[in-house]
């Protein structure tokens, strides 16, 4: 039974939990797979050399900005489609799906053209030095010029999830990630008489799986209730304005986050190399704690959007709050693991005692931030499902640029608290965001 039919029934708390987990768990698995494959990709490239690792890192920093825009388009599509599905208006949902696909296509082609024409200056702006620049240009050009397939993957996945199908994107993710790992190895290092292409092989492996993923997702859309023809009846309509109205704040929110990270990373570098290394290691460990929150945020977007579309405001609020409660429980457990096993986790990445101690300090502080992170992630998804992409944008702007950046400067540098000051600032930021987003969600739906 799909989520759209399930939400139309009078559901008990236990049934709501089942619906939430049925939607969230596949999204969690999908995110986990992408993270693991990202680690494997980095590991393979590191075997070529440190120059290549740096080249990929700098290239991905630019591509992350592209992805922020494409994810925002997916957010706008998810919100509008979920509400249309909830209202049982599949004709409108199909129009929105088609419109979002073409906006994503145009945006992806535009970013691809920019990448083709300005690859070298963009990489130089990001700080690519002479010894890294040629490798970075090679990797970035191959991966970024076909950006249209990145944008299509995000939007096609969002269309399926908005209709309550989180399993199909997960299944496709499993297969393309397996293909990615195999292609990575073969195209980087070679096999039999094929000698491999080095960093270019890593880039082509990424492009090939994105093309496969885009085609596979669209084929499943064609089999769904949201099936639409891509190449007929392409017109701008009222849905274009609605999509851009929702997507623009979401895009700004993600860009604010990226730019804020660049600034506060610079402050951390100022504190010291070991501190920056410890912060990076702690961040890599913490990534895994995001998986439950991201999956449950997807569920919140779908369920709040569909219930509001069905004019069931109380149910939408109940789903939002219950999903938040599940996230807090999951991520508090993760926080306990971070607290008690912090030194052990740190030892996976380094044998330097000073760095291990700093990583342990960061993770122990972060353990107490996990419930606030859970609230922020899920209520961001819930508000986006309700069509409010501005509140998350405001919370990110204030949290990142006022609390986090100022906090790192005052606590980390001026008061000399180092890594403890950095992660206390992050915790305060997450707490303030959680309170603000909770207030906004209650005000809109209670």
Whether residue 34 has pLDDT greater than 80: no
Query: Same domain, yes or no, for 177 and 110?
Result: yes
Do 79 and 182 have their domain in common? yes
Q: Can you give the pLDDT at residue 4?
A: 47
In this structure, the answer to whether residues 151 and 277 fall within a common structural domain is: no
Whether 253 and 165 map to the same domain: the answer is no
Boundary of a domain, candidates 200, 217, 235:
235
Q: What pLDDT, in 10s, does the model give residues 68-90?
A: 899 889 999 999 999 999 999 99
Which domain range does residue 268 map to? 241-446
Question: Which among 202, 235, 268 is the end of a domain?
Answer: 235
Which residues, in sequence order, are bridge partners of residue 289?
none
Question: What percentage of residues in the chain have a pLDDT greater than 90?
Answer: 59
**The token pair that represents 400 in the structure block:** 């990142």
- Cβ proximity of 322 and 7 under 8 Å: no
| Residues 285 and 261 placed together within one structural domain of the fold | yes
* Pair (219, 310) in one structural domain: no
Ranges 83-97, 109-123, 344-358, 388-402: which has the least confidence: 344-358
* Choice between 167 and 236, residue whose per-residue pLDDT is larger: 167
| Residues in Cβ contact with 275 at an 8 Å cutoff, skipping those fewer than 6 apart | 268, 358, 418, 419, 422
Residues 85 and 149 in one domain: yes
Same domain, 83 and 214: yes
Given a contact cutoff of 8 angstroms between Cβ atoms, the answer to whether 183 and 203 are in contact is: no
The three state secondary structure string of the chain is: CCHHHHHCCCCCHHHHHHHHHHHHHHHHHHHHHHHHHHHHHHHHHHCCCHHHHHHHHHHHHHHHHHHHHHHHHHHHHHHHHHHHHHCCCHHHHHHHHHHHHHHHHHHHHHHHHHHHHHHHHHHHHCCCCHHHHHHHHHHHHHHHCCHHHHHHHHHHHHHHHHCCCCHHHHHHHHHHHHHHHHHHHHHHHCECCECCCCHHHHHHHHHHHHHHHHHHHHHHHHHCCCCCCCCCCCCCCHHHHHHHHHHHHHHHHHHHHHHHHHHHHHHHHHHCHHHHHHHHHHHHHHHHHHHHHHHHHHHHHHHHHHHHHCCCHHHHHHHHHHHHHHHHHHHHHHHHHHHHCHHHHHHCCCCCHHHHHHHHHHHHHHHHHHHHHHHHHHHHHHHHHCCCCHHHHHHHHHHHHHHHHHHHHHHHHHCCCCHHHHHHHHHHHHHHHHHHHHHHHHHHHC
The predicted-structure confidence for 332-351, as pLDDT tens digits, reads as follows 999 999 999 999 988 887 78
Average pLDDT over residues 402-409: 90
Confidence band (pLDDT; 50, 70, 90) for 1? very low
pLDDT given for residue 10 in this prediction: 56
Residue 234 — pLDDT band, cuts 50, 70, 90? low
C-alpha 204/C-alpha 151 separation (Å) is 17
Asked if 160 and 304 sit in the same domain, the reply is: no
Question: Are 357 and 328 part of one and the same domain?
Answer: yes
Residues 272, 231: one domain? no
Looking at per-residue pLDDT, the higher value among 13 and 183 belongs to 183
Output the pLDDT for position 230: 78
Residue 130 pLDDT greater than 90, yes or no: no
Candidate from 176-190, 219-233, 352-366 with smallest mean pLDDT: 219-233
User: Cα-Cα-Cα-Cα dihedral of 363, 369, 374, 380, to 10°?
Assistant: -120
Residue 117 CB neighbours (<10 A): 11
Give the distance from CA 328 to its chain's centroid. 19
Please report the pLDDT score of residue 114 as a whole number: 96
- Among 235, 265, 287, the domain-final residue is 235
What mean pLDDT value characterizes the chain? 89
Who wins on pLDDT, 365 or 250?
Answer: 365
CA angle, 152 then 153 then 155, to 5° = 65
Cβ atoms < 10 Å from Cβ of 423: 29
Cα dihedral 52, 57, 63, 68 in deg (nearest 10) = 160
- Domains identified in the chain, total number: 2
Note whether 253 and 376 are same-domain residues.
yes
Query: Does 250 or 230 have the greater pLDDT score?
Result: 250
Q: Which has more pLDDT, 62 or 152?
A: 152
């Amino acid at each position: 039974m799909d989520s759209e039919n399930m939400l139309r029934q009078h559901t008990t708390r236990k049934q709501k939990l089942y619906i939430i987990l049925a939607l969230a768990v596949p999204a969690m698995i999908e995110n986990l797979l992408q993270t693991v494959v990202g680690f494997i990709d980095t590991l393979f490239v590191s075997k070529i050399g440190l120059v290549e690792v740096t080249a990929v890192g700098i290239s991905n920093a630019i591509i992350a900005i592209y992805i922020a825009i494409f994810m925002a388009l997916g957010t706008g599509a998810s919100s509008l489609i979920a509400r249309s599905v909830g209202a049982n208006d599949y004709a409108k949902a199909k129009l929105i799906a088609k419109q979002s696909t073409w906006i994503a296509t145009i945006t992806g082609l535009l970013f691809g053209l920019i990448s083709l024409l300005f690859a070298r200056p963009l990489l130089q702006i990001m700080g690519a030095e002479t010894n890294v620049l040629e490798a970075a240009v090679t990797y970035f050009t191959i991966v970024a010029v076909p950006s249209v397939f990145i944008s299509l993957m995000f939007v096609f996945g969002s269309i399926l999830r908005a209709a309550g199908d989180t399993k199909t994107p997960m299944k496709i993710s499993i297969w393309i990630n397996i293909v990615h790992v195999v292609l990575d190895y073969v195209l980087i290092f070679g096999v039999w008489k094929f000698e491999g292409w080095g960093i270019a092989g890593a880039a082509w492996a990424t492009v090939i799986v994105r093309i496969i993923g885009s085609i596979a997702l669209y084929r499943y859309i064609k089999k769904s209730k949201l099936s639409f023809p891509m190449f007929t009846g392409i017109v701008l309509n009222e849905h274009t304005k609605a999509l851009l109205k929702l997507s623009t704040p979401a895009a700004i929110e993600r860009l604010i986050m990226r730019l804020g990270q660049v600034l506060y990373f610079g402050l951390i570098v100022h504190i010291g190399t070991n501190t920056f290394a410890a912060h990076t290691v702690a961040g890599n460990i913490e990534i895994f704690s995001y998986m439950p929150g991201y999956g449950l945020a997807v569920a919140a977007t779908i369920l709040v959007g569909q219930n509001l579309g069905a004019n069931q405001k109380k149910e939408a609020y109940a789903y939002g709050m219950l999903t938040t409660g599940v996230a807090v429980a999951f991520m508090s457990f993760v926080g306990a693991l971070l607290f008690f096993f912090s030194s052990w986790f740190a030892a996976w990445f380094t044998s330097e005692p000073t760095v291990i101690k700093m990583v342990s300090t960061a993770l122990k502080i972060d353990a107490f931030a996990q419930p606030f992170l859970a609230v922020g992630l899920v209520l961001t998804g819930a508000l986006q499902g309700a069509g409010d992409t501005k509140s998350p944008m405001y919370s990110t702007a204030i949290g990142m640029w006022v609390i986090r950046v100022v906090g790192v400067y005052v606590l980390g540098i001026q008061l000399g608290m180092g890594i403890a000051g950095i992660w206390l600032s992050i915790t305060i930021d997450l707490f303030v965001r959680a309170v603000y987003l909770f207030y906004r969600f209650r005000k809109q739906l209670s």
